[in-house]
Chains A and B, each alone.
Chain A
Amino acid sequence: MPELLVENIYLRYGTVPVLRGASFNVERGEIAALLGSSGSGKTTLLRTIAGLERAYQGKIEISGKTVFDGNAGVDIPAEKRGLGFVFQSYALWPNRTVYDNIAYGLRLRKLASAEINKKVGNVLDALGLEKLSSRYPNQLSGGQQQRVAIARSLVYDPAVLLLDEPLSNLDAKLRDEARAFLKELIKREERAAVIVTHDQVEALAVADLIVLLNGGVIEQSGTPEDLYKNPRTLFAADFIGNNIKFTGKIINVEAELIVMDCEGAIIYGKKLSNKEIGDEATAVCRLDCLSIGKTGDRDCIEMSKVTSMFLGERWEHIFRYNHLDVRLQTADDIPDKKAFIHIPRDNVWIF
């Protein structure tokens, strides 16, 4: 039985549909990432699970208990769902110390003060906040505030932890550290966690399950590796990874192979839609699959170099064939004005 079950959630603001049938499950000890661009409904979906937004259809179960059922008219208010929620802004109460922020959920549950002391102490330890317990939120750094927010949501032992863009308020260096810390913590604490993010790198790194949302519906969900290697739609292929993309006309269709004419260049790729000869189509290829080839190699096109940029750990070049531009990254600079670019047909998806 999944710790969190979300089934076919429909929600609208006034007459504007925001969620149109979202479903996913999270097991204990598993992290699901709701990934999507802004306006995709990912935060709304998270807030619906928490009971902060009201759906009009669908079903949500937490640890086997139905907390929302549109048909049966069940809608348990947020305060009775017993979830942990980490807000994007952290939402630490500015008038309370770190200790009191964390202890509030326990006080609401009427625990004895000795027990509150112990539990808060444990969670402060676990998050490395022991020394900060008497400080006020405005005396903390962004990273410390984030830890307090997590501590506050963990202290009353919720089965499901919901995190709304928890890393977006941290600066880039801190974010990488916090990401690893977060993953390790959730695994150690064995919660079911749902994390909302617009950053695909973050989702790939942290999640066991990625739920890719687009316009209020789930475009594709699966393991990070599955989503990266086997995207089923153009949106999924393009949203994840660092890609090149070009459009053109289909000139030949074989069983699993499509041949496309893009600005005169002939591109081969995997067939992932029902398009036929003469249709416009889009090809997507991960940047890391491109390389410099040799004359006569299969899937190689001779292109002229437009410009080169040094990125630190590697070089990025722009190559052009008629009006077709291709980005390519290499370890070293390429001195030549022209080169054969290898676009391997096994790594090109055509939609």
Chain B
Amino acid sequence: MRKEYWRGLIAGFTALFILAPVALIIWQSFLSDAFFNSLAKPTLEAYQFVFEDPDFWAALRNTLILSCGMVIIAVPLGAVLAFLMVRTDMPGRRILEPLVFLPLFMSPMVLAFGYIVAAGPSGFFALWWKQIFGSIWWSVYSFPALMTVVGLTHIPHVYIYVSTALRTVPSDLEEAARVAGASPIKVALRITLPLVWPAVAISAVLIFFLGFELFGLPYVLGDQDGRMVLATYLYKYNTLLGRPAYQFMAVIVICIMFITLPLVVLQRRMLQSVERYSTIGSKATRSTVIPLGRWGYFPCAAIIAWLGFAVVLPLSGVILRSLVTNWGPLVSFQDVLTLDHYRELGNLAITSRAIINTLIIALLGGLASVGIYVLIGLASHRSKLASTRALDFLILLPRSMPGIVAGLVIFWLFLFIPFLKPFVASLGAMWIAYTLVWLPFGLRLVSNSFAQVGKELEEAAYVAGAKPWQVAKDVILPLAKGGLMAAWLLAFLLYSREYSTGIFLMGQGNEVMGTMLVSLWNGGNIDVASTLAVVNTAIIGAGIAIALKFGVRLDA
């Protein structure tokens, strides 16, 4: 009998990696003080305190409203965008195809700064608008503005699901309806939409869930009038009472996961039932597009306007801000133009360290994480063991953890385990938190690329005399190389963008650009923040360019 203990061993370690933090949160939530405090007693006080805090209910209500708003804005627009890109001959769709993914890779912190310096009360475009039209009718700090921003920046998530579904709809079904006398609009509504309805519903659940993960945008844009969402409410307790109130934070984390976990489970079940359904249907067939003719320029212009709002506007804001010494009404742009901020960025130890740390964690950390995912992926690859199949469900736990929560629990874990305590503010701790946050996504990428390797190719190696590790080394990994490289590139993009996971773990020496942006905002240092935001975006942009050059799909 082939010995498969190693699979169980890896599955066990992974389960420990996932469950230990969760157990720690639950335990902490029932204590009267921080778990490392000897005075901490078991109690329900923390729950009582949080549930009696009107701010908690306000934050919960705000989160729900924001999530619903995101669904209402992003889902219909994302579905229409997918239809236009996949099923019509809209002009410019070839060029727009990679561009519509850009909002996915914009750091929310960069977006938030960008809107403030571009369209805030004394933002560039706001002041220019005022010069021309006399008055400003919007406020970036208002709740509707926040909802618009988060809604419009989450359109790509919907686009990914719906466009994938649309590509599998055989166009003969549509053609049959056309021949039977239906107009193109009628076909879209009566034939195509019902077929991709499950994908639309799945993306709606996803968007609603992502509403609970929001941190950077509500933190920066919603802060001024004291409007909190659950994630920013959680962050508040780090400093609100003079010292971190871990027991309250644990309760808030449990409340967040109480909502997000069912959503993740629901999304997974919907996905599975769709997959079952879609295997019956035929594979993607020749697809004919609906001719829009001259009308096609209208939606094309709308998409460009959307990209202008979601990418160009905030990005140009931070770029402009990074090039001026100061800015306000009555300041002429030419007079204040400078490159000093970039020099400062290099001269300041803390910012140059943040840039170097980001590159290290994104390049090497990303590679190391993919290595971990490969090990876990190999353990569950074609495994019939109960232990590896249980992982399938366990990874829903980190999936339901917003980055800020995962960072917090890893922080606690380092405080909890004596020999890890000295390393709590190290880049290593940061890497572990990143690896936990992106475990579900990374594992899916890695497993998918393993699943592409034909079963018989592996069996051929077995019968030729290869042991399981030799099959992995000689057959699975070389053949999955492309997928693994893509996973590394995507990890690079996500790790260099990441900002919320490291917030609690940031200390002297392990600053990364994302967390640096948060603390620069806290300190009100908008010049350096904008400059760092530009550099951050440039690094991500370079990553995207490399990814596109190697044909990596950004919608993985």
Contacts and interface: CB of A to CB of B under 8 A. Distances in A.
Interface of A: 50-52, 73, 75, 77-85, 87-89, 91-95, 104-105, 108-109, 152-153, 156
A93 B463 contact: no
A77 B1 contact: yes
Nearest to A77: B2
A196 to B, nearest CB: 14
25 contacts: A75-B1, A78-B462, A79-B465, A79-B466, A80-B465, A83-B463, A87-B456, A87-B460, A88-B456, A89-B454, A91-B454, A92-B460, A93-B457, A93-B460, A93-B461, A94-B457, A94-B479, A95-B478, A95-B479, A104-B461, A104-B466, A105-B464, A108-B464, A108-B465, A152-B460
A85 B463 contact: yes
Contacts of B467: 79
Nearest to B479: A95
B259 to A, nearest CB: 37
Contacts of A51: 462-463
A91 B464 contact: no
Interface string B1-24: 110000000000000000000000
Contacts of A75: 1-2
B459 interface: yes
Interface string B124-163: 0000000000000000000000000000000000000000
B465 A156 contact: yes
B460 A91 contact: yes
Contacts of B456: 87-89, 91
Contact of B475 (A50, A82, A85, A93): A93
Interface residue SS majority, chain B? helix
Contacts of B224: none
B470 interface: yes
A156 B464 CA distance: 8
Contact of A52 (B454, B463, B464, B465): B463
Interface string B160-197: 00000000000000000000000000000000000000
**Which 3 A-B pairs have CB atoms at the shortest separation, nearest pair first?**
A91-B456, A105-B464, A77-B2
A75 B3 CA distance: 11
B129 to A, nearest CB: 58
Contacts of B340: none
B531 to A, nearest CB: 46
Contacts of B460: 85, 87, 91-93, 152
Given A50-B463, A81-B463, 15 more contacts: A51-B462, A52-B459, A75-B1, A77-B1, A78-B459, A78-B462, A78-B463, A83-B463, A85-B459, A85-B463, A87-B460, A91-B460, A108-B464, A108-B465, A109-B465
B4 to A, nearest CB: 10
A85 B463 CA distance: 7
A94 B478 CA distance: 10
Nearest to B463: A85
B474 interface: yes
A52 B465 CA distance: 12
Contacts, number: 68
A52 B457 CA distance: 12
Contacts of B462: 51-52, 77-79
Nearest to A89: B456
A179 B459 CA distance: 24
Given A94-B479, A108-B470, A152 B464 contact: yes
B208 to A, nearest CB: 37
Residue with the highest number of chain A CB atoms closer than 10 Å, among B1, B462, B463, B475: B463
Contacts of B464: 79, 104-105, 108, 152-153, 156
Residue with the highest number of chain B CB atoms closer than 10 Å, among A88, A93, A109: A93
B463 A84 contact: yes
Interface residue SS majority, chain A? loop
A56 to B, nearest CB: 12
Residue with the highest number of chain B CB atoms closer than 10 Å, among A83, A85, A88: A85
Contact of B474 (A91, A94, A104): A104
B196 to A, nearest CB: 34
A105 B479 contact: no
A77 B1 CA distance: 6
Contacts of B475: 93
B19 to A, nearest CB: 29
A81 B479 CA distance: 25
A240 to B, nearest CB: 29
A148 B474 CA distance: 18
B1 A73 contact: yes
A87 B458 CA distance: 11
Nearest to A105: B464
A109 B467 CA distance: 11
A156 B478 CA distance: 23
A91 B465 CA distance: 15
Contacts of B459: 50, 52, 78, 85, 87, 91
Contacts of A93: 457, 460-461, 475, 479
Contacts of A79: 462-467
B6 to A, nearest CB: 14
Interface in B242-294: none
Contacts of A95: 478-479
Nearest to B460: A91
A184 B7 CA distance: 44
A91 B466 contact: no
Residue with the highest number of chain A CB atoms closer than 10 Å, among B459, B461, B464, B466: B464
A83 B456 CA distance: 15
Given A105-B465, A108-B465, A156-B464, A91 B1 contact: no
Nearest to B459: A52
Interface in B429-483: 454, 456-457, 459-467, 470, 474-475, 478-479
A92 B461 CA distance: 10
A92 B467 CA distance: 18
A156 B470 CA distance: 17
B424 to A, nearest CB: 44
B540 to A, nearest CB: 32
A108 B463 contact: no
B457 A91 contact: yes
A95 B460 CA distance: 14
A88 B454 CA distance: 12
Contacts of B461: 93, 104
A91 to B, nearest CB: 4
B474 to A, nearest CB: 7
Contact of A82 (B1, B465, B470): B465
A33 B2 CA distance: 28
Nearest to B478: A95
A89 B455 CA distance: 10
B473 to A, nearest CB: 11
